[in-house]
């Protein structure tokens, strides 16, 4: 807990006021990733491999944008920084630990941007949401990655929707998931989507007790790869059950 508190404190002054309320989610993810490093290793490598495969055949590699860059554990940042002239990392929060690691690596072509990628505020203001519209203003854009972000957008939007009943349409979660997918498919450059699409709660005997569609009925694009991510192995949340997510990659 002391390490988490120190990381929170170090990240706080580096984060814009509007996004500071999200720091604890990033710190919690960092903490769980450390505890579950062995169980998450295959998922992280599969995610990195999908991004590598999606970018391998590009004719030009000028600017790459990573949406939901997070802890960078599931992003092949070394290769991206080497292969592209500029790499832009976009997320609500960039932890101090991530910033320090990037500084130590001396990636001078890596840029950090804080941004809410959900599109929720547009819908709340009565405007049509185009959460990835800002990408049209990125010069020399050749590659965009959505890195294990979409279900997190859905989760955050659902939480806000329930807390602010009546402020946004009832189908807000579905609309914003669809808007993210439409934003990727409408790009004039190559893209790679990595996202978890479903989860299951499974007991020690292998019996599934709960399942849910993390994309809320919205269909993902054709899949190039799929795998299982043990988000919460036995003992992480309970000694009696584990939580597994189904992950897909499309490019």
pLDDT confidence of residue 249: 98
Please write the tens of the pLDDT for every residue from 124-147.
888 889 999 999 999 999 999 999
Specify if 10 maps to a domain: no
Residue 144 covered by a domain: yes
d(CA 131, CA 154): 13
CA distance linking residue 182 with residue 162, whole number of Å? 24
Give the span between the Cα atoms of 232 and 229, in whole angstroms. Answer: 9
67 within domain boundaries: yes
Name the domain count of the chain. 1
Whether 28 is covered by a domain: the verdict is no
Q: Considering the domain boundaries, does residue 3 fall inside one?
A: no
Residue 48 lies in a domain: yes
* 3-state helix/strand/coil string of 157-181: HHHHHHHCCCCCCCCHHHHHHHHHH
pLDDT score of 220: 96
CATH number at residue 79: 3.40.50
Q: Which parts of the chain sit beneath pLDDT 70?
A: none
* Residue range 165-203, pLDDT digits in tens: 777 888 999 999 999 999 999 999 999 999 999 999 999
Domain that holds residue 227: 37-250
Residue 10 to residue 3: CA distance in whole angstroms:
11
Residue 128 is predicted with a pLDDT of 87
Domain contains 46: yes
Q: How far apart are CA 117 and CA 150, in angstroms?
A: 9
């Amino acid at each position: 807990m002391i390490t988490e508190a120190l990381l929170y404190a170090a990240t706080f002054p580096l984060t814009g006021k509007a996004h500071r309320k999200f720091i604890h989610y990033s710190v919690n993810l960092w903490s769980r990733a450390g505890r579950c490093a062995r169980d998450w290793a295959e998922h992280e490598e599969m995610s990195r491999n999908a991004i590598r495969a999606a970018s391998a055949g590009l004719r030009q590699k000028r600017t790459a944008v990573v949406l939901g860059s997070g802890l960078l554990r599931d992003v092949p940042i070394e290769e991206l920084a080497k292969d592209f002239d500029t790499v832009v990392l976009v997320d609500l929060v960039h932890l101090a630990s991530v910033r320090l690691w990037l500084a130590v690596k001396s990636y001078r072509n890596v840029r950090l941007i804080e941004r809410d990628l959900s599109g929720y505020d547009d819908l709340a203001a009565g405007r049509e949401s185009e959460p990835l519209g800002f990408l049209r203003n990125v010069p020399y854009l050749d590659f965009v990655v959505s890195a294990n972000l979409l279900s997190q957008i859905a989760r955050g939007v659902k939480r806000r929707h329930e807390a602010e009943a009546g402020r946004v349409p009832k189908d807000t979660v579905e609309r914003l998931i669809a808007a993210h997918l439409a934003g990727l498919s409408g790009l004039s450059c190559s893209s790679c989507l990595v996202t978890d699409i479903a989860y299951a709660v499974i007991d020690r005997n292998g019996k599934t007790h709960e399942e849910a569609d993390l994309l809320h009925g919205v269909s993902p694009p054709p899949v190039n790869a799929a795998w299982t991510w043990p988000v919460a192995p036995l003992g992480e949340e309970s000694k009696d059950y584990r939580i597994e997510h189904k992950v897909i990659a499309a490019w």
